[in-house]
Amino acid sequence: MILAGGGGTRLWPLARARRPKQFLSVAGRGTLFQQACRRAEAVASRSRVLVVCGQGHLEWVRRQAPWIPARRIIAEGRARNTAASVALAAHWIRRQTADGIMVVIPSDHKIDPLTAFRHDVRVAARAAQRPGTLVIMGVPATTADTGFGYIRPVRRLAPGELAPVRTFLEKPARARAVRFLERGDALWNCGLFVWRASSFLEALDKRLPGLARAVLRIVPARGARVWRIPGRLLSRIMALPVDKAVLERAPGILVVRATFNWSDLGSFDALASILKRDTRGNRSLGRLMEIGARDCVNVNPQGITLLVGVRDLIVVRDAEAVMVCPKGWSQRVRDARGRLVGSLSAHA
């Protein structure tokens, strides 16, 4: 399954509610959503891809992946985070196949190479055949970033190895993140999960039976070919990420140390790391003209940016919105999001 909607984005102002990050061409061939589709095809086939998205994103999904039939798209009328989305997908799989291995693939991440991703998923899928087994993918933690989940396996893992999880903590306080990093064996949760549909539903029922029952009540009746879940039904469901709802609480979780490269592209600093660098250290998505500019990041896919005599800046343009900030500060853009949305709406 591909999670193609729901969560917010830190790539702002380039990504907005009407055009989320996953439907932008910011890294590599095609949009991030189209790249996620190729990853899904690499481990299964086109006929076995299932997409969960917000109702407002349905048109983007249809436009960018017209080969996915309507019966394989679950559209949510209201975002209730990933626990509900994954549970709905698990019920859909059980309805169609009695049971089956789920590979949960976020659509807003950058992952390469594809061969390494396929290898790691196959390692996880073999382990997930055992009933009750939940497998998560982990990438080595490199900074004490509080925006990620932290995983400690029972032993230090080589790339591609699998082991039980000793500790899992989603988005810890900075002091705790620093301690995880200092141990040298910490992995980041990259939002990629592999398990049987039944294994996940059983774990959710044990950890949060109220949430599990609430999702079960809104599953469409048998015979429904297209699953469109109204917002009024979803509004009754607790909004929790799958990490908090199940993974922090469930015993016996396994982790595979990823062999692929991963970024959630959650900030423009992260995006810059995958853009081509010129001789002056500038990185650009779109055309850049510079005179004496060094170590800057330009994101202006539809136009030309001229930078003169500046350094260590991030410059982003999207239609009528322009953002300029020092490198290292792009995470703070979230603080201004509400004011920017209100300003743009007032001038629409």
Residues 6+ apart with CB under 8 A from 110: 27, 28, 32, 35, 261, 262, 263, 264, 265, 274
Q: State the Cα–Cα distance between residues 207 and 94, nearest whole angstrom.
A: 20
Q: For residue 11, what pLDDT is reported?
A: 46
Q: For residue 338, what pLDDT is reported?
A: 57
Q: For residue 67, what pLDDT is reported?
A: 96
- 229-258 as b/e: b if 16+ CB within 10 A: beeebbeebebbbbbbbbbbebeebbbbbb
Cis peptide before 20 (omega within 30 of 0): no
Exposed/middle/buried for 285, CB within 10 Å: 0-12, 13-18, 19+? buried
Q: For residue 249, what pLDDT is reported?
A: 81
Q: State the Cα–Cα distance between residues 185 and 263, nearest whole angstrom.
A: 19
What's the pTM value of the predicted model, to 2 decimals?
0.85
Q: For residue 10, what pLDDT is reported?
A: 45
Q: State the Cα–Cα distance between residues 320 and 285, nearest whole angstrom.
A: 17
How many C-beta neighbours within 10 Å does residue 129 have?
11
Q: For residue 29, what pLDDT is reported?
A: 83
Residues 6+ apart with CB under 8 A from 210: 238
Q: Nearest 5 degrees, angle CA 219-CA 220-CA 222?
A: 115
Indicate the domain borders of the chain.
2-263, 268-346
2-263: CATH topology is: Spore Coat Polysaccharide Biosynthesis Protein SpsA; Chain A (3.90.550)
Structure tokens at 88: 């709905």
Q: State the Cα–Cα distance between residues 81 and 237, nearest whole angstrom.
A: 10
From first to last of the 348 residues of the chain, give the pLDDT tens digit. 888 764 444 444 455 555 677 887 776 688 999 999 999 999 998 999 999 999 999 999 999 999 999 999 999 999 999 999 999 999 999 999 889 999 999 998 999 999 999 999 999 999 999 999 999 999 999 989 888 899 999 999 999 999 999 999 988 999 999 999 999 999 999 999 999 999 999 999 999 999 999 999 999 999 899 999 999 999 999 999 999 999 988 888 999 999 999 988 777 777 787 888 999 999 998 899 999 999 999 988 778 999 999 999 999 887 677 889 898 776 666 656 556 555 555 555
Q: For residue 72, what pLDDT is reported?
A: 96
